[in-house]
Structure 1
Amino acid sequence: MDEPQPPTRPPSAVPPVIRLGDSGEVAAALPHLLGFHPAESLVLVSLRGPGGSRIGLTARADLPDPADAAALARALAARMDTDDPAAVLLAVVSEAPDDVAVPVVPAHVEGSGAGAELPHRDLVHEVVLALDAIDVPVREALLVRAGRWWDYDCPYPCCEPGGGTPLPGGASPLAAAAVAGGTVLARDREALAARIAPPTEVTGVTAMAEACLRAGREHAGRLRAAGRPAVAEECDAAIAGAVSACRPGPATAGTRLPDAQVARVLWALTLPEVRDRALGLALDDDAAAAEVLWTECTRRAPVPLDGPPATLLAVSAWLRGDGAMANVALDRALAADPGAELPRLLADGLQACLPPAELRALITSTLATG
């Protein structure tokens, strides 16, 4: 499945400028654009601005079966088109060996040995055709393999199947921009999902479940006794207190939120008006602390209480340009409640490549009219 990534940068920051001749730096920075190290993947990077010098949308897909290559190419081209790119950079990340061609003359004739081609050239051709159909040129088509990179269109020995150029070491400008935007690099997508996976330690899971049961009874009792508006205010205060406890600093370093506090936040987020107001935390100075809270709540919450914090985590990651984590979090939210409206709408928006700036404006508008 293709995974669109919003432009990898803080929403208020200037997009990184790349040197188009520096293909190695772009190839080395692909994991930072995605948030994890891709494997056996097709990656498209939108190049925007004058001359296509700015990184825009990044989309990744698992390498398809040959029969599915054309359909995948068209789907990814449609994703790219939403970003209005001046050009696209294409990268195949694969450890596949070179394709060996059948000799066209008898093998005993001198110089007639089987030739070799870089792998997945047919897939590259399908993507080029799909992008050409929407008038988007492919600036470069790269193969990234075993710590080296090749250009599919390069005629020189450095890009012959047995050649390749080592990926540059050190932090590239794109990698630095991704890190500055808050993207934490994962080993692979599974490692990214593991950051919010439920704990496996039975004692801790049981204690958290019991805390949620107690908090749930208290929440229901308060709703009966005080009414929904008063409880919603109490819930807002509970979330504010938990966010404060997650702010970085000496007072919070190494501390773990108590199960009871996490449980109160989880039940607070079951009120849609409270959850919607919590969206605004991603827009202010407490955005980082709020994301820490949503991550912790998603990881520790029993189903289906994990749905709302996972939704908020997805929004927070999306606004940072971390589409990989946004996808993972939305998968978790929809697994908790497949019929939930907000995560479904957000998933549709992410698939449609809604830029972070537009999501930010939408949340601002929603909060103003709420």
Structure 2
Amino acid sequence: MAAPTSGASVELADVVKDYGTGSLALDSLSLHAQPGEFVALLGPSGCGKTTALRSVAGLESVTSGRISIDGYDVTTQPTNKRDLGMVFQSYSLFPHLDALANVEFGLRMRKVPTDERRERALESLEMVGLGGFGKRFAHQLSGGQQQRVALARALVTRPRVLLLDEPLSALDAKVRVQLREEIRRIQTELGITTLFVTHDQEEALAVADRVAVMRAGRIEQIGTPESLYTQPATTFVAEFVGLSNRLPGLVSGGFVEVYGVELPLLDPTVAKGPATVYLRPEDVEIVGCAGGAAGGAGAAGSGLLTPQIRGTVVSSSFLGSIRRSTVRLPDGELIAVQHGVSVKPASGENVSLRFTGACVSVSPREAPSSVAA
């Protein structure tokens, strides 16, 4: 295993990227990653996350603003002067070279002596779990193995910053989970500052120290995965990160009333009036169901004396460790409920629901909403 490296800080200060299309790809974007930190850039297609990463890499020139690595301005420096390792969605392996030669390539360009080059390349392949695959060519490797070779190639130069642009999106679900865990393990052991671009919120929440949720070239909110999920700063973050029911409510005095239940607000200063309430499925319990023991996952059995709400089960899906059911309320609203697998509501069954009393975020209500996000 390679010795831990010293990760570098990465800072984007008021970075603007204008392609001349009428809207900014990056709109005064500011971000600071601490040495050794793993930061995920998360957002929908077109939000600017890949442009931000390519700007750090030097593959995109910026219209204005400043990019610095370890306090040094690299805004106008070429890519090969920035001490970076990069892994992209496409594996980009040289088909005429075997895995070991692919990993050695960057060291060859740096004129590292042959013996040292071979030793470091073998070490990098071992690090990503491909110690015995050095003589295989790309067509002899699976997609996951090819991406591991690409990761080894990025790490072999011992960069202080690692840039990952949706490196797992072309892989199947099981391999994707395995490789993201490997990336996190290696990143932690080596101490490399890492920027990871993804549109998959599960990936971002699973591996990152902090997640920056982007929208229209700006960072909507940045924070730990837990804080983004439990304390979204904006309605966009509340809707984009995780699953939320959108229900009608009425705000007053730091609370919002939803179907006769007063729920505390994440932001108690919200102005009173009609609102859309963003309620997580795990913050709703099934307390009356013929198909198994009553109670939900997470806050089940909390004993909160909140009014019960009647509804009819539309569907219920088994998701392994949990079930998620959709219930239609008397006014036609649909509400998603996340609960334990021992509760097995049948389609068409009448059930009772109860809110756990968790804090919720809201937005001013402009039009009726009837779909669980």
TM-score (norm 1): 0.23
Q: Which has the higher strand share?
A: 2
Give the number of the structure with larger relative contact order, counting CA–CA contacts within 8 Å between residues 6 or more apart: 1
TM-score of the pair, normalised by structure 2 = 0.23
Pick the structure with more helix per residue. Answer: 1
